Structure 1
């Protein structure tokens, strides 16, 4: 409608005059889409980076926590004690999903659980192990985002950046007058794309580091390679929370 206007622009309202000038800009719609995509990309990368770093830190804490491993040995020993009394064979290990069941297995006294027995044994024989949550501080406020989901989001950002670069190439005129606003626009977009490529490359490396660290943790604890990280970290977070709760009960 603006482009079909044949009268004098001065006869139009100030807003309409502005819109009329906007319509004269080549590929206006595509340029606005391009600017929007460029504006949103760094914010998306900024949201992912701390989540990925948190997952890496959580994996490293698990990898380097001898106290947590020692606590698992206590649980295995207690489980095998129960197996022996029930006439079952001794287990060589257990899935970490079993950690969430310790507070559900109760003795004759309904208020006394296997978690209480674990805390009592640790407190009696090796009280230093009760401090293992201090080696796993990242699990206190670990986000619910899964490693698989974070990796997929990084891939989406890579595709978005490729689309931005393609869009710039498609709408950029073959001939542009130097030192014009148009030439400045495409130059600034090119510079931003180059910067974001570097930022995204670094984020991709962190993502690869995260996946590698998680794989090493799964191998260490004998879990399946396709184990969902959200579930895996959730088991440990819940165990730490239940352990602390029972520890406070016993100490009070």
Structure 2
């Protein structure tokens, strides 16, 4: 009948030690307590009520706590593996480096062998002399023209958004918290077992089963997975040659996300532009007839001059047409 939120509210509502003693004294003196006071006094008669409530609350939250940590570790590890294994993304980076070296040829920063990842987010800020195009536009257009097989590298980086907010320190703290609470439950269980005043063994049975089935081997596996995630972080840092103390892995993933989103946006703009230009070309080659409703009508973009014929001209035209039919029949 309990849930974690109710238990937490109950813990906050329990009276202080001096209030508990006062309630007990009143009850021992034969004073009739109101329902709320009687309820609180009965709760406080339970041996080690507050620690036991904390144990029950932890039992209810345990599976969710472990599951959340497992998911965070798994997603972060997969995201790192994707960044390390995405050869299309690596080739796009080489293309950017080559274009940058061509632009900086003859200067002291020309002939670079690498560039820092935060530079990916500044490519869109470098504009042409007429301020109409950016370096990012040129990079995407070059990829479209010469390296079409690299265009959809973003499809191979699908877990970055989920992993970007995952912090190693938070995972480490959560695992230590779970481990500490398991020790706390084990210690509390021993104290309740040792008390001669405890006659109901329900708490002992449930918590013993909990400790047995959720032993420290599970925490050991979580810790092992966490260290594997840490190794994945270090591999990414080594691959892109940055200091994790100065440039966090979360910042690295955010910059890559920004780059791939902007790249996809530019691809969409180019596709729309090509579609529009293609439609315009078709209209020029095959213009639609707009009809000839006035004296000076327009048909297929050609202007046609229409004039009214006199009755004599009409009769002559009809007579010519009739004579041609007779001649054809002969």
| TM value normalised by structure 1 | 0.86
Spell out the pairing of 1:1-252 with structure 2 (5 A cutoff): 1-4=22-25, 5-6=27-28, 12-13=33-34, 16-86=37-107, 88-169=109-190, 171-174=191-194, 181=200, 183-196=201-214, 197-226=216-245, 227-252=247-272
- Is the CA contact 2:237–2:249 (under 8 Å) kept in the aligned structure 1? no
Using the alignment, how far apart are the partners of 1:247 and 1:166 within structure 2?
61
Using the alignment, how far apart are the partners of 2:64 and 2:257 within structure 1?
29
- Structure 1: stretches of 5+ with no match in the other structure: none
SS in 2 for 1:2: helix
Measured at CA, do residues 2 and 44 of structure 1 come closer, stay the same or move farther in structure 2, by a change above 3 Å?
same
Q: CA RMSD in A?
A: 2.5
- Is the CA contact 1:3–1:23 (under 8 Å) kept in the aligned structure 2? no
CA shift for structure 1 position 130: 0.4
| TM value normalised by structure 2 | 0.67
CA shift for structure 1 position 176: 5.7
CA shift for structure 1 position 141: 4.5
SS in 2 for 1:172: helix
- Is the CA contact 1:61–1:135 (under 8 Å) kept in the aligned structure 2? yes
CA shift for structure 1 position 87: 5.2
Using the alignment, how far apart are the partners of 2:132 and 2:186 within structure 1?
63
* Greater RCO structure (CA 8 Å; 6+ sep): 1
- Structure 2: stretches of 5+ with no match in the other structure: 1-21, 273-330
CA shift for structure 1 position 125: 0.8
SS in 1 for 2:125: coil
Using the alignment, how far apart are the partners of 1:24 and 1:220 within structure 2?
62
CA shift for structure 1 position 7: 5.1
Deviates more, 1:107-116 or 1:229-238: 107-116
Report the number of matched residues: 248
Using the alignment, how far apart are the partners of 2:120 and 2:81 within structure 1?
20
Measured at CA, do residues 111 and 161 of structure 1 come closer, stay the same or move farther in structure 2, by a change above 3 Å?
farther
Using the alignment, how far apart are the partners of 2:88 and 2:117 within structure 1?
15
Please identify the structure whose Cα radius of gyration is greater: 2
